[in-house]
Amino acid sequence: MIYLDHNATAPVAPEAVIAMRDALERAWGNPSSTHGPGQDARRLLGTARAQVALLVGCRPDELVFTSGATEANHAALLGAVDPRRPTPRRDRLVLSAVEHPALLALADRLRHFGHVVDLLPVGSDGRIDLDRADALIGTDVALVSVMGANNETGVCMPLADLAAMAHARGALLHADATQLVGKSVLRFADSGADLWSVSAHKVGGPKGVGALVVRKGLDWPALLAGRQERGRRGGTENLPGIAGFGAAAAVAASTLPADLDRMAALRDRLESGACGLPDATVYGAGAPRLPNTSLMRFGNLPAEAVLHGLERAGVVAASGAACHAGGNRPSHVLLAMGATPPQALGGVRFSLGRDTTAAAVEAALDALQATVTRLRHNRRAVAEPATVS
């Protein structure tokens, strides 16, 4: 099987498996306990915190471990409108239109609670429109929240510009950096953002663990009350998960710049080969993008059909369109970029990983060419049925 869906999740690094097993077998104490087993667990927590901080580019004490990026995103948005935050109270939030569906669903809930949530539009290249951002971010905004890099297109957002705009109006910037970490050299410390959300399973760690990065000095209300994480996130720490996150982060950090160059070269090869197919479009091609991600469309062929053909040939990729009972919904990201609904059902996402080889990319291209050619042929045959005289 050729796995080209690393943005959904990455294979678990062998080092992470070992670290998790070790944590389960040897550091099973409660990190809050003062006795020996507790202190063993506490030391392991400290090691993992330092490893994750190195990859993220933050201070270890800026990391608050969570159950994943979804929880971190909730902590960021709900924290921004929390009455415990210092005055002056601000009730408005500004999010990009291409955020993760869970964040957009939370935004909807916040609207029901009486908060004002505005959506920042993106251009046809998937980048946030900075002029519109300038107009939308007023002095009544508590938080601006954008993805560091979009999970469907890989397009990177102008965090430094947005941070400057937000800060000039007394607002904070949160970046959902789930896709950025491990696929970019941008460090939290250099991003200008006040908060980042990160997730372990996108970098070779396990699922169900992540972190909210909170800039030093920012007093952020806890989503889950409790004493752990210095009062910033209650609940006994998921030590095996955190240890796995740490080990995976250490591996990713040790090979990062070389991995990025290699993935970019393979992604470029994939795109140049795919662009040889008639009516192929690559989304966000002109914008700064992650080196591993390519979202393509092949005329009006539905992504579902292309993916099915690819999987039959042993290649696993993904569609931007969200699955729901009874079919697919057009990708909200592509709609926000100006695609028509049929076009927004056609986005096929290839996302490469550290382990992707040149041979895998060539095999994927062969499968793609065969699939697209066959689907086009079938469609033509349906559109122009043979006449029988």
Q: Does 241 bind ligand PMP (CB under 6 A)?
A: no
Q: Does 147 bind ligand PMP (CB under 6 A)?
A: yes
Q: Does 351 bind ligand PMP (CB under 6 A)?
A: no
Q: Which stretch binds ligand PMP (CB under 6 A): 45-53, 80-88, 175-183, 333-341?
A: 175-183
Classify strands 210-214 and 172-176 as parallel, antiparallel or unpaired.
Answer: unpaired
Q: Does 107 bind ligand PMP (CB under 6 A)?
A: no
User: Does the active-site annotation cover 156?
Assistant: no
Taking the complex as a whole, the smallest distance from the CB of residue 179 to ligand PMP amounts, in Å, to 5
Q: Which stretch binds ligand PMP (CB under 6 A): 17-25, 64-72, 126-134, 333-341?
A: 64-72
Q: Does 152 bind ligand PMP (CB under 6 A)?
A: no
Which of 176, 194, 237, 259 lies at the binding interface for ligand PMP (CB under 6 A)?
A: 176
Taking the complex as a whole, the smallest distance from the CB of residue 68 to ligand PMP amounts, in Å, to 3
Q: What's the CA gap between 37 and 101, in Å, rounded?
A: 41
Q: Does 100 bind ligand PMP (CB under 6 A)?
A: yes
Q: Which stretch binds ligand PMP (CB under 6 A): 63-71, 263-271, 279-287, 316-324?
A: 63-71
Taking the complex as a whole, the smallest distance from the CB of residue 159 to ligand PMP amounts, in Å, to 14
Here's the x/- map for ligand PMP, 9-48, by CB under 6 A: it reads as: ----------------------------------------
Report the residue number, 182 or 309, with the smaller CB distance to ligand PMP: 182
Q: Does 210 bind ligand PMP (CB under 6 A)?
A: yes
Taking the complex as a whole, the smallest distance from the CB of residue 297 to ligand PMP amounts, in Å, to 20
Q: Are 228 and 49 in contact (CB under 8 A)?
A: no
Q: Which stretch binds ligand PMP (CB under 6 A): 47-55, 62-70, 121-129, 261-269?
A: 62-70
Q: Does 70 bind ligand PMP (CB under 6 A)?
A: yes
Q: Does 96 bind ligand PMP (CB under 6 A)?
A: no
Using CB under 6 A, list all residues that contact ligand PMP: 68-70, 100, 147, 151, 176, 178-179, 199, 210
State the catalytic residues.
323
